[in-house]
Structure 1
Amino acid sequence: MPRFAVPALATTAALTALVLLPAAAASADSAVLTYGSAAGNAVSVGDVLTSSLASGTTATLATAGDGTSRISCTGSTLSATVTSNPAAPGTATESATSQTFSGCTSNIFGVTGVRSITVNALPYTTSATSDGTVTVAPASGGSIQTTVVLSTLLGSATCVYQAPGLSATSSNGDNSLTFTNQVFKKISGSLLCAGNGYFTASYAPVVDSSVAGAPAVFTN
Structure 2
Amino acid sequence: MRVPRTVPIAAVAALALALVASPARADDPAAVLTTGAAGADGSNVVAGDVLNASVAAGTTADFTTASGGTTGVKCAESAFTATVTDNPVAPGVATESTTGHTFASCTANIFGVTRVNGVTVNNLPFGTTVDSATGAVTVSGTDTAPIRTTLSLGTILGSVTCVYQATNGSITGAASNADNSITFTDQAFTKTSGPITCPGSGFFTATYAPVADTSAEGSPAVFTN
Q: Same fold (TM over 0.5)?
A: yes
Q: Deviations over 1:16-69 (max 9, x none)?
A: xxxxxxxxxxx9811000001002111000000000011100011000113221
- Relative to the length of structure 2, the TM-score reads 0.84
Alpha-carbon separation, structure 1, partners of 2:106 and 2:144: 31
Q: Deviations over 1:153-205 (max 9, x none)?
A: 11000000001110000000000000000000000001111100000000000
Asked whether the equivalents of residues 35 and 215 of structure 1 are also in contact (C-alpha less than 8 Å), the reply is yes
> Contact 1:28–1:88 at 8 Å: present in 2 too?
no
The total of aligned residue pairs comes to: 194
1:139 lines up with 2:159 in the alignment: no
Between the aligned partners of 2:142 and 2:28, the Cα distance in structure 1 is 33
- 2:87 corresponds to which letter in structure 1? N
**Any gaps of 5 or more consecutive residues in structure 1?**
1-26
Give structure 1 regions of 4+ aligned residues with deviation exceeding 2 angstroms: 139-142
Matching residue within 122, 125, 147 for 1:120? 122
Counterpart in the other structure of 1:37: 37
Q: Normalising by structure 1, what TM-score?
A: 0.86
The structure carrying a bigger helix percent of its residues is: 2
For 1:25-174, list aligned pairs within 5 A.
29-39=29-39, 40-130=42-132, 131-163=134-166, 164-174=169-179
User: Greater RCO between the two (CA within 8 Å, min separation 6)?
Assistant: 1
2:68 and 2:186 in contact (8 A); partners too: no
Higher-Rg structure is 2
What is the percentage of aligned positions where both structures have the same residue? 55
Tell me the equivalent position of 2:202.
197
Unaligned runs of 5+ in 2: 1-26
Equivalent-residue separation in structure 2 for 1:183 and 1:143 (angstroms)? 13
